Amino acid sequence: GSAGVTKVFTPTQEDYQKVYNEIAARLEEKDDYDDGSYGPVLVRLAWHASGTYDKETGTGGSNGATMRFAPEGGHGANAGLVSARDFLEPVKAKYPWISYSDLWILAGVCAIQEMQGPIISFRPGRADKDIAACTPDGRLPDASQGNKHLRDIFYRMGFNDQEIVALSGAHALGRCHTTRSGFEGPWTFSPTVVTNEYYKLLLSETWQWKKWNGPKQLEDKKTKSLMMLPTDMALVSDKSFKQYVDKYAKDEELFFKDFSAVVTKLFELGVPFAETTEKIIFKPTNV
């Protein structure tokens, strides 16, 4: 017989689509959170798992899911992301063969597509690492700073100015929470739909400092219901950044194309894929 031989489950593309569909169903079902969706916070989880990457040392990035452990989960930048990780626990329980690190990225892909964003290709193969692989604090951007800081942080990951601006369009989604970052409010009037509204509003509104006791942030003069962070404003005050803000504000199709490419790059930073790993294109459930 085959005593001693353990059969390893090798998931197919269909198996990954099942995980996608499970996350999409939970997004649909749990609509009593924030602005009606866990989508934005799932995107932020995938971004913070990936955005720790350092190209010089090859450390950080989405391969590892080390935010599960207190040293990294407790970083100020990760405040509130426990709600995204908890949202995914029942999915992990149902499909235990998927690593947390693949699951968090797959959930980010699913959230973007289900919120009417572009198709984002996905490659599996991330492995969970232990607590020793936690990254040091300070690798994610600090919203109170400006253009130099943005370049320091994103060049460290291997991005250029165009890619920094394209990635920032994710702030069409979600909101700031005083209980998490200290900042307050959404960037757009449609925080659960992927659009190029972030760029349009950056250019069309008059942004003034909000008068309050919280950290320095801007509000739109007209309705005072939208916000921008100091780092968001750096994209229009810096000439090299602003040329891309202008392009994406005018052309949503171009933004979708560039956003898809740069998000794939972000989500794959530092992941040692096998040569044979194929790209998976998930079918959205809402079309």
As annotated, the active-site residues are 48, 187
Q: Closer to ligand CCH at the Cβ: 85 or 171?
A: 171
CB of 187 to ligand CCH, least distance (A): 9
CB of 96 to ligand CCH, least distance (A): 27
Query: Which chain residues interact with ligand CCH by CB under 6 A?
Result: 40-41, 43-44, 47, 80, 141, 143, 150, 167-168, 170-171, 173-177, 180-181, 183, 229, 231
In whole angstroms, give the CA distance from residue 260 to residue 67.
24
Q: Closer to ligand CCH at the Cβ: 88 or 143?
A: 143
Q: What's the 3-state SS for the chain?
A: CCCCCCCCCCCCHHHHHHHHHHHHHHHHHCCCCCCCCCHHHHHHHHHHHHCCCECCCCECCCCCCHHHCHHHHCCHHHCCCHHHHHHHHHHHHHCCCCCHHHHHHHHHHHHHHHCCCCCCCECCCCCCCCHHHCCCCCCCCCCCCCHHHHHHHHHHHCCCHHHHHHHHHHHHCCEECCCCCCCCEECCCCCCCCCCHHHHHHHHCCEEECCCCCCCCEEECCCCCCEECHHHHHHHHCHHHHHHHHHHHHCHHHHHHHHHHHHHHHHCCCCCCCCCCCCECCCCCCC
Q: Closer to ligand CCH at the Cβ: 95 or 155?
A: 155
CB of 287 to ligand CCH, least distance (A): 22
Q: Closer to ligand CCH at the Cβ: 44 or 210?
A: 44
CB of 165 to ligand CCH, least distance (A): 10
Q: Closer to ligand CCH at the Cβ: 180 or 247?
A: 180
CB of 167 to ligand CCH, least distance (A): 4
